[in-house]
Amino acid sequence: AQKVTQAQTEISVVEKEDVTLDCVYETRDTTYYLFWYKQPPSGELVFLIRRNSFDEQNEISGRYSWNFQKSTSSFNFTITASQVVDSAVYFCALSEAADYKLSFGAGTTVTVRA
């Protein structure tokens, strides 16, 4: 069963627009961890954020912000005032305390046009 669902396959925006990436997860564990990674065209997966299941505070880091809602099993990611350098594939991932394996979603391709 798919543990992480990223319903948006591709998103295209014009520079300076905001873009929100959806992530819905499924787990029976009470302790789990959620991650976002960025994969630019170079191919390397770049770690962006890690959040544990007991911390529902939203987080902001520069132009990036994350909205974690356990009630809807969602961990959404917003890029504010997007830039061309934000163009990449973004992956949401889940790690459960049962085995700590990372399960990735299928990814969302973000294209920011100048």
Partner 1 sequence: EAGVAQSPRYKIIEKRQSVAFWCNPISGHATLYWYQQILGQGPKLLIQFQNNGVVDDSQLPKDRFSAERLKGVDSTLKIQPAKLEDSAVYLCASSPHPGTSETQYFGPGTRLLVL
Output Rg (C-alpha) for the chain, integer angstroms: 14
How far is it, in rounded angstroms, from Cα 32 to Cα 94?
Answer: 7
Kindly state the smallest distance separating residue 61's Cβ from partner 1, in Å: 15
Range 59-88, binding partner 1 (CB under 8 A): none
User: What token pair was written down for 111?
Assistant: 């294209």
Contact segment (CB under 8 A) with partner 1 among 13-21, 59-67, 74-82, 93-101 equals: 93-101
Residue 31 φ then ψ, to 5°: -110, 120
The minimum distance between CB 92 and partner 1, in angstroms, equals 9
42 makes contact with partner 1 (CB under 8 A)? yes
Alpha carbons 109 and 7: distance in angstroms, whole number: 11
Contact pattern for partner 1 over residues 2 through 41, marking x by CB under 8 A: --x---------------------------xx-x-x----
Q: C-alpha distances in angstroms, 69 versus 51, 55, 74, 109?
A: 11, 10, 5, 23
CB 92 within 8 A of CB 35: yes
94-113: contacts with partner 1 (CB under 8 A): 95, 97, 99-102, 104-107
**Contacts to partner 1 by CB under 8 A:** 4, 32-33, 35, 37, 42-47, 50, 52, 91, 93, 95, 97, 99-102, 104-107
